[in-house]
Amino acid sequence: MCFLVIFKASATVYQPFNFYLPQPPSLNNLTFWLQSLSTSPLNIENFQQQVPTDNPSNINYQMMLMTYDDVQSTPSKTIIETASTTNSLKHDDDDQLIDNTLNDSNVDFCRSSQCVISASRMEHLIDWKVDPCENFYNFACGKFIRDSTLHDRRDSLNIFTMTDDKLKDQLRRLFTQKVKSNEIEPYKMVKHLFMSCMDTDSADARGVEPLRKLIKAVGGWPMLVESNWNENDWNFEDSVLKLRSYGGSRSTSNVFRGILQLRNLIKIPTLGFFKTEIMDDLKVIPAEDSSKTEAILKTYKSYLVDLAIIIGVKMDKSEIERKIDDAIQFYLELFALNSRYDSNSIENRFSFFQSEAYVKYALTQWLDLFQSLPPLALERSDLKKLNAMEFFTAYEKLLSRTSKRTLANYLILRIIGFSARYLTSEMKKLALHYRMELLGVKQKEEMWKHCVDTVTNSLQLAVESMFSNEYFDLESKHTAIDIATRLQRFYEKKLLELSWISAQQRIKILAEINKIIARLRFPSELLSEQQVMLFYINVAIDIKKYMEAVLSLTIFNADRRFLALQAGISLTNTESVGVLNYADAKDFNKILFPAGVLQREIVSPEQPLYLNFANSGFLIGYIFTQKFEILQQSHLPSNVSSQIDCFIRQYDNYEDAEAGVKNNGRNTLEGNIADNGSLKAVYASYKRWIAENGKEKPLPALNFSNEQFFWISFAQLFCSVSRPEKVKNLNAVNRNSFEKFRVIGALSNSYEFAKDFKCAKNSPMNPTNKCNIF
């Protein structure tokens, strides 16, 4: 978060001095007394100690710490009256490579308070000692990386995590407001569910009995009842179906959502173990080398053993470990199977109703799974394609050679791993401790943050509506819509230029983009309480039974998603208010525009468009580019295929030396193509805007052109520091390259970037060989 510090040098003169702090101090809008002027950003962990408030003796400087809201209410003239003439945005790098001094005293800066904030933030992320043509990420983000400190509860820090922190705090304030008699029922449910989550006394009083009842209802657990479990009465697919009827888990619902993806390709079912979602539910990542895998699985096994004992398993600990080992081995084989039949592989696709495939598929009980879903009136044409018939053949072979006891243990352990966070204090502590060990954090996440996440995921539309009514920034939304419309025009023209895109595909892509624009323009769903009431009209929860309430809402949300598949209903928001996964949202045309992304950290009508295009424009363009679905096309010309191989080779060559992991160019291919395509589109759209409207004013006291501001702002969108443990664990499942490689990779493919920063040919950021599909 950006803070502007104003030093009162005299009765009438204010000298700006800027700090970029990873976290806001606990107290807001206070006047602090400093005995001496600090020349570097203060460490937030020690902020209160470094800036004492109780001893104003021997004062040399009076300082006011201003947050964004404070600056908004302060006349910008007061804030920056000396900035442009004294070049107050100074740094202490005497051997800087980039001249940041503005020699022209007549330069007309952007003088809005938001521009001051943006200038401060930008300047305090840059490492002026780095040559931008050598490593632009280190240039744009170097000082942020060097000066940022991860506090004990955090595994990463970037603009999205900081915005997410702000969102969570805003949501907590909403959820803890007193329930009003005239509120609509969904709003009351939100507040009641949050209170139920925070009520650890009631959860402890209920104990593990709710979970034991669920386990019994879905077929029982061999480890719990031992000899009383009859494998002849148990069927794997039948237990999965039963689990769904009880709400199951979010990861189990992904089985159904994954299989029944009507819009495009049907994803390979992995019974909850989607590679992109393992971190979310299991927190177990098969790493690339055996030593890392063993360490992770050892932690996971210990977690499950502790949970089993709490639930009441009476076996010897060694026997519990052995049976859990068997279940984990099945998981690893299933994971490997999924990896082998990657949904990105063109050869792994076929038409669902090809006679042989349909007959094979109909022989399994998966059709019972389809029939258990809400009625969809499906036509054969709806089930467009199914990935990897070979997967189903291999999958059934895996089931047939695995004992029913192992399968049952696997399924129940999945349920336990998911449910622990909704039960007793002891189980919640185990779940939080497991996350600590996996991600390398030193303190458990605060309980209220977990509860905010759970409520938001469970009652997404109600939360979205509450948030929007309180915080929604319509001016920022209008700015984002204008940018999206310009991007739409670019893609319309680009589609006509790409000969390998058929007329039918062109129409489909434009239709998808038009849906996104329509959703951006249409606010009534977001703001209408009547719509929210209708959406939840058949929902009722018992707030005294927290786990059951969450499971009930899980099945409700899953059913709504299935019912919306054909119609493309936007009320099935899977991203909701949060922003962390915004750049990866595949179904953006079916969700409400995430209100959190419209906060001023991402887009603001009061700052130059070179910042807005580079931030919100890139994020919107990323979604647009994904609509091309290049990897799902069965016949690509050789020149396009060769460029796909170029991207794989390029991103395979990147390595995170600190974490000791290599970027995976194949796993991240789709994201890399979207990054490159979006950046090309958004830059061209901004240049078109300049041609029509003229140059924009620079930020205060920063000596960059409009185009250079654009590139820096894009790169700083991805400034990030992460614990090595998180980087290692995400490496196997990431569908996007690591942040630094997203920046370096896309910019080194850009001729426009090299021109704007005058990078010499064959310099690291301007290689001769560039990858380009568009």
| Residue 602: CATH number of its domain | 3.40.390.10
Question: For the segment 450-493, what is each residue's pLDDT rounded down to a tens digit?
Answer: 899 899 989 988 888 888 788 767 778 888 889 999 999 999 99
Half-sphere CA count of 765, side-chain side, radius 13 A = 25
Is the residue at 646 inside a domain?
yes
Q: Which residue has the higher pLDDT, 341 or 11?
A: 341
Question: For the segment 67-88, what is each residue's pLDDT rounded down to a tens digit?
Answer: 444 444 444 433 333 333 333 3
pLDDT at 644 over 70: yes
Token code pair at residue 644 = 């796909």
H or E segment and range at residue 721: strand 720-722
From 302, 247, 599, 313, select the one nearest 430 (Cα to Cα).
302
Q: For 351, list phi and psi in degrees, rounded to 5.
A: -75, 135
Q: Which residue has the higher pLDDT, 189 or 160?
A: 189
Residues 513 and 608 in one domain: yes
pLDDT at 64 over 60: no
Mean pLDDT, residues 680-708 taken together: 95
* pLDDT more than 70, % of the chain: 64
Q: Residues 639, 732, 158, 764: what is their CA dihedral angle, to the nearest 10 degrees? A: -40
Q: How confident is the model at residue 417 (pLDDT cuts 50, 70, 90)?
A: confident
Question: For the segment 731-766, what is each residue's pLDDT rounded down to a tens digit?
Answer: 666 778 889 999 999 999 999 999 999 999 999 999
Is the residue at 628 inside a domain?
yes
Mean pLDDT, residues 720-732 taken together: 73
Mean pLDDT lowest among 191-200, 605-614, 726-735:
726-735
Residues 104 and 249 in one domain: no
Do residues 121 and 701 touch, judged by C-beta distance below 8 A? no
pLDDT of residue 442: 60
Token code pair at residue 349 = 């696709």
pLDDT of residue 100: 53
Q: Is 350 helix (H, G, I), strand (E, B) or coil?
A: strand
pLDDT at 230 over 80: yes
Residues 274 and 331 in one domain: yes
Residues 310 and 379 in one domain: yes
Is the residue at 500 inside a domain?
yes
pLDDT of residue 633: 66
* Residue matched to tokens 């707030």: 543
Residues 464 and 418 in one domain: no
Residues 482 and 418 in one domain: no
Q: For 445, list phi and psi in degrees, rounded to 5.
A: -65, 140
pLDDT of residue 66: 43
pLDDT at 269 over 80: no
* Residue matched to tokens 């928001």: 573
Q: How confident is the model at residue 563 (pLDDT cuts 50, 70, 90)?
A: low
DSSP result, 36-79? S--SSPPPGGGHHHHS-SS--TT-SEEEEEE-HHHHHTS-HHHH
pLDDT at 712 over 50: yes
| Domain residue limits at 52 | 2-113
Is the residue at 211 inside a domain?
no
Do residues 206 and 543 touch, judged by C-beta distance below 8 A? no
pLDDT at 527 over 50: yes
Is the residue at 434 inside a domain?
no
Residues 241 and 362 in one domain: yes
Residues 410 and 532 in one domain: no
Mean pLDDT, residues 101-128 taken together: 79
Is the residue at 247 inside a domain?
yes
Mean pLDDT, residues 512-530 taken together: 69
State the burial class of residue 406 (Cβ atoms within 10 Å of its Cβ: 0-12, 13-18, 19+). middle
pLDDT at 341 over 80: no
pLDDT at 16 over 60: no
Mean pLDDT lowest among 116-120, 496-500, 527-531:
527-531
pLDDT at 681 over 80: yes
Q: How confident is the model at residue 389 (pLDDT cuts 50, 70, 90)?
A: low
Is the residue at 140 inside a domain?
no
Neighbour count for residue 534 (Cβ, 10 Å): 12
Strands (E), 69-220: 156-158
Residues 393 and 475 in one domain: no
Is the residue at 722 inside a domain?
yes
Q: Which of 328-332, 515-519, 542-546 has the highest mean pLDDT?
A: 542-546
Mean pLDDT, residues 333-353 taken together: 52
Q: How confident is the model at residue 767 (pLDDT cuts 50, 70, 90)?
A: very high
pLDDT of residue 701: 81
Domain count, the chain: 3
Mean pLDDT, residues 391-408 taken together: 84
Residues 474 and 551 in one domain: yes
Of 79, 113, 147, the one marking the end of a domain is 113
pLDDT of residue 208: 94
Q: For 8, list phi and psi in degrees, rounded to 5.
A: -90, 100
From 581, 616, 590, select the one nearest 519 (Cα to Cα).
590
* pLDDT more than 90, % of the chain: 32
pLDDT of residue 595: 52
Residues 745 and 646 in one domain: yes
Write the secondary structure of 217-243 as one string of H (helix), E (strand) and C (coil): HCCCCHHHHHHHCCHHHCCHHHHHHHH
Residues 700 and 594 in one domain: yes
